[in-house]
Structure 1
């Protein structure tokens, strides 16, 4: 007897439940009260009499996998039905596999979300919440979840024919729909990941299409992080214990020299800033967050695009490896500002970085300054045209941009004609590119090294480890599910040293300023503190506390940036070298040589 052969076998309760579902799927005949051919054959196999009542749960407890497979072969519907559970898989034709297929189901759901975005989510969610229902009821439920009316007839047919995640059940001309019960837990697990971040209301086709890209980019980041955790976690933490702002500076100066390295330092530091970690003062109160927008501006051909795009995303043609966060940098080449404003809805509640290499072009369109200013303030955007309305929505991502200016011996002139453009500049951490003899020499030297492959060989040793460090820090700070519980997020501590440096710098600038009015705002001081704080995250794993004091080297570099940017915005109306010398920053390797 089957029961006697297996009475000592202990089977987990969820596995028993799945066996019951499997038996009911393929051998539902044995629960009928009246005799039938299938029931007779099953009872013969079990060694029971025809009139004996069959309890599916008791039967599920008593079977071996081999016996379960033989029973499936007795099913008259094995050529039509499938089963994809946690423990068992049955393909059409009765092909029995004594292992689960939830990973396969999860991958299918991820593909549906990539292809169909929130509409795919809404239909899948509706099917998990309804046992079986007419199409009209499922449509109503999916529309409620989606937030707008949808009619998913083609999509539900695709779930049936391509993905085997929806079935027509019942009979007659008015069928009902359901999702196979055994796949629901796997589907819900993927949907829960999808729900962890806000699902935005999308009002335009552009934003709907972009949301599919958002899902793909987030999946790219997740896969990279998952691989890091499985294969390189200890190595990354160990690298982090030795890594620091000074290490980053040394690496970049070794690549590019003491002048142009600063542009790359800003670009990589901005990648650290995207996690938008909190900075607190010594009283424990929040002072600010580190996330900032970056702008490199100046004459064409001064290396701006290489610093903000090629170093971050990589450049296959030059064999330059990516240094930036995987999947979280949205390159906007060829995009119009109106398109950006439309797709911005898809990024609500998310921290991405938009790389715009031709920022000037965005201001050829009327009415762009105000929405872009709001985007850089991470405020609420609303934009209307005669044909459509975008928003309101809150933008929560960042920018790194390049734009061209006319640079003179003294000062510069923006090529953006909109008189309100300074409102944009004021909301960014800006860096002027002046093509001095020193800078030209270093650019030419680095170009030759790239052609010879010298820089690439150095990058190959550091870039992957730096990228892993960035990724892990971002994941911890944004509470990514893959690292929650394994690491504790940290905050940056605003030190007296940082405040005193900025205060001294500000006082010296005002003392030496040749004009009556101050040609820059208080936001410039905030940008300098954000820069120092973001650079300090390079110390993430070499500080045991959950508070990371602003690094001394980072503080000095940020103060130097503050003085130089104030000098540029003041149209060089104070002696830069004198101020830096009095601050004892004149001996810092970095950008001073560019100006003297």
Structure 2
């Protein structure tokens, strides 16, 4: 029998049958050991010994002898006492829900009070309040919260005499509370300026808990299967899957959103000499005409859409959907993500620029810079934003090029800091969208995704966990992506072909950041081939490089308002 189950039985027996340890409890011991266990001699010398030999059915019989069973409760991992009856099943699931509900309603104060009680064991109110205030960093009146934790969630007890009352956490639920405190402390707790940020921090921890729960299930139940899948999975196979689902034109949108999911681990990209050239993490923007599948690629495909029958392909718990959120709200809650890497999905990015003064703080956010924001009523920050964006916005697509509908003249500074992809509704794309919709309605696409999406999601999560050093996968060693001269030569050849095709121009319509984005895309996509080889470093996948160079050429063509023959450039580079 598991040691922790025996230990829980000891707690149960001490609470409901304390007479078994008292000198005057001979009559009860005779009934328990003689009548229930049928022992004529060799009685257990301690509750620990009794807990190791008694069966569950015998424990139920013994429990019925308790004079306290109507007065106390018990919510353990293996046993529950409810309504005076011993139930042979645990309650830790309900306890976890109670802890997180208390946290949602009271925020970081719940953490401070519970941590104080874990440290103090059993203590009078004044000690609990003083230690909780010290943990919180500000004065805390804990009386109301303690009463809620006792009466509503049964997470704490009042103990002791009427003259000297103390507060404590029931022993059987301490591991759940310790688990919660560790979850809060797993990363630095940010300093929060607003109530919105405090509320958001609760959601941040819940999302991280969802990620950890998914990863735990993966490691416990599906690790061998995930590794077997990973050893044969490549960028080419990923492309094959997406082309089969969506067609040879629009598949690239889903490829970009999945590449960004791999990139969130922010894996170092180094040269052959070991010099760090960059990291994989990038911000993504799909822009263009409405109705061209942008929202499906960034939101439904990544998060899943049950009504469409689309399972989630993206990282569990690490994508924050920002539907209906204002930019001011984003800046306020951004504090809660300091020191963390999430992905913010904004499907109506245009709306964020209806408010004045948003370009500068958003530009800082895209650069991982320090954000500070102040109005007449409140001040936010300063804090460093380290998460990423995946956004959609509508533009007027012209016969050549496009025209941004955002009125702010500095919006190009935002575009320049993202990996961008234009959506133009050509006849070919329209046919593919219509066919994709037909296959989705008939269930053809849904059936294929149901088989493949969980495997891709497991692979993506496992790669992310290894690359971010998650303790559940500490047996794996993180890898670096190695960028060679040969890889960079492919980008150089593309650059020269583009410049030659453009002819004489006074000013280039794109910056060097475009080349950087192409290299980041190739590096992030290469993580799809992560488990192909056992080498400690990961080279750029040839198919990933080919796709990234093609992206570079096509994006340069769009930025140049389609002023050169893109087909000819692609043919010259053998990318046609």
Query: Same fold per TM (> 0.5)?
Result: yes
* Cα displacement (A) at 1:116: 4.2
Deviations 1:166-212 (A, max 9, x none): 11123336632122345434422342233212322222221222222
Per the alignment, residue 539 of structure 2 pairs with: 549
Deviations 1:390-440 (A, max 9, x none): 111221211111111112122221111112111111110001112223222
Pair 65,500 (structure 1): closer, same or farther in 2 beyond 3 Å: same
Pair 444,73 (structure 1): closer, same or farther in 2 beyond 3 Å: closer
Per the alignment, residue 458 of structure 1 pairs with: 448
Per the alignment, residue 582 of structure 1 pairs with: 572
Compare 476-485 and 263-272 and name the one that shifted more. Answer: 476-485
CA contact (8 A) 2:341 2:387 kept: yes
CA contact (8 A) 2:339 2:386 kept: yes
Paired residue for 1:489, among 466, 478, 493?
478
Q: Is 1:345 the counterpart of 2:335 in the alignment?
A: yes
Instruction: Tell me how far apart the structure 2 counterparts of residues 453 and 98 of structure 1 sit (CA, whole Å).
Output: 43
Q: Is 1:194 the counterpart of 2:181 in the alignment?
A: no
Per the alignment, residue 72 of structure 2 pairs with: 81
Compare 243-252 and 163-172 and name the one that shifted more. Answer: 163-172
Per the alignment, residue 447 of structure 1 pairs with: 437
Q: Is 1:251 the counterpart of 2:241 in the alignment?
A: yes
Per the alignment, residue 421 of structure 1 pairs with: 411
Paired residue for 2:495, among 506, 511, 534?
506
Pair 461,168 (structure 1): closer, same or farther in 2 beyond 3 Å: closer
Compare 446-455 and 514-523 and name the one that shifted more. Answer: 446-455
Per the alignment, residue 157 of structure 1 pairs with: 147
Paired residue for 2:353, among 358, 363, 371?
363
Instruction: Tell me how far apart the structure 2 counterparts of residues 102 and 31 of structure 1 sit (CA, whole Å).
Output: 28
Per the alignment, residue 160 of structure 2 pairs with: 170
* Cα displacement (A) at 1:60: 3.0
Pair 564,20 (structure 1): closer, same or farther in 2 beyond 3 Å: closer
Pair 62,246 (structure 1): closer, same or farther in 2 beyond 3 Å: closer
Instruction: Tell me how far apart the structure 2 counterparts of residues 168 and 216 of structure 1 sit (CA, whole Å).
Output: 29
Secondary structure at 2:187 match in 1: coil
Per the alignment, residue 264 of structure 1 pairs with: 254
List aligned pairs for 1:197-208, cutoff 5 A: 197-208=187-198
Instruction: Tell me how far apart the structure 1 counterparts of residues 545 and 162 of structure 2 sit (CA, whole Å).
Output: 75
Instruction: Tell me how far apart the structure 1 counterparts of residues 568 and 21 of structure 2 sit (CA, whole Å).
Output: 93
Deviations 1:45-74 (A, max 9, x none): 699xxxxxxxxx953355354798787666
Paired residue for 1:330, among 303, 320, 338?
320
Secondary structure at 2:394 match in 1: strand
CA contact (8 A) 1:119 1:146 kept: yes
Secondary structure at 1:418 match in 2: coil
Deviations 1:285-333 (A, max 9, x none): 3221101110011122222112111211222232222222222222111
Pair 517,71 (structure 1): closer, same or farther in 2 beyond 3 Å: same
CA contact (8 A) 1:200 1:346 kept: yes
Pair 21,405 (structure 1): closer, same or farther in 2 beyond 3 Å: closer
List aligned pairs for 1:378-457, cutoff 5 A: 378-457=368-447
* Cα displacement (A) at 1:355: 1.0
Q: Show structure 1 runs of 5+ residues with no match.
A: 1-10, 48-56, 588-596
Deviations 1:91-134 (A, max 9, x none): 564x4568876666555445544554422222111110113333
* Cα displacement (A) at 1:555: 0.5
Instruction: Tell me how far apart the structure 2 counterparts of residues 252 and 13 of structure 1 sit (CA, whole Å).
Output: 49
CA contact (8 A) 1:65 1:98 kept: no
Deviations 1:570-595 (A, max 9, x none): 2334442333233222x2xxxxxxxx
Compare 575-584 and 387-396 and name the one that shifted more. Answer: 575-584
CA contact (8 A) 1:332 1:357 kept: yes
Compare 531-540 and 74-83 and name the one that shifted more. Answer: 74-83
List aligned pairs for 1:521-560, cutoff 5 A: 521-560=511-550
Superposition CA RMSD, Å: 3.1
CA contact (8 A) 2:183 2:209 kept: no
Compare 458-467 and 73-82 and name the one that shifted more. Answer: 73-82
Per the alignment, residue 209 of structure 2 pairs with: 219
Paired residue for 2:277, among 287, 291, 301?
287
Instruction: Tell me how far apart the structure 2 counterparts of residues 16 and 446 of structure 1 sit (CA, whole Å).
Output: 57
Q: Show structure 2 runs of 5+ residues with no match.
A: 34-43
CA contact (8 A) 1:114 1:216 kept: no
TM-score for both structures, normalised by structure 1: 0.85
* Cα displacement (A) at 1:448: 2.8
Deviations 1:424-471 (A, max 9, x none): 111100011122232223223323333333322332332222222212
Compare 185-194 and 537-546 and name the one that shifted more. Answer: 185-194
Instruction: Tell me how far apart the structure 2 counterparts of residues 576 and 88 of structure 1 sit (CA, whole Å).
Output: 69
CA contact (8 A) 1:117 1:215 kept: no
* Cα displacement (A) at 1:30: 8.5
Pair 537,172 (structure 1): closer, same or farther in 2 beyond 3 Å: same
Instruction: Tell me how far apart the structure 2 counterparts of residues 504 and 259 of structure 1 sit (CA, whole Å).
Output: 24
Secondary structure at 1:269 match in 2: helix
Pair 532,22 (structure 1): closer, same or farther in 2 beyond 3 Å: same
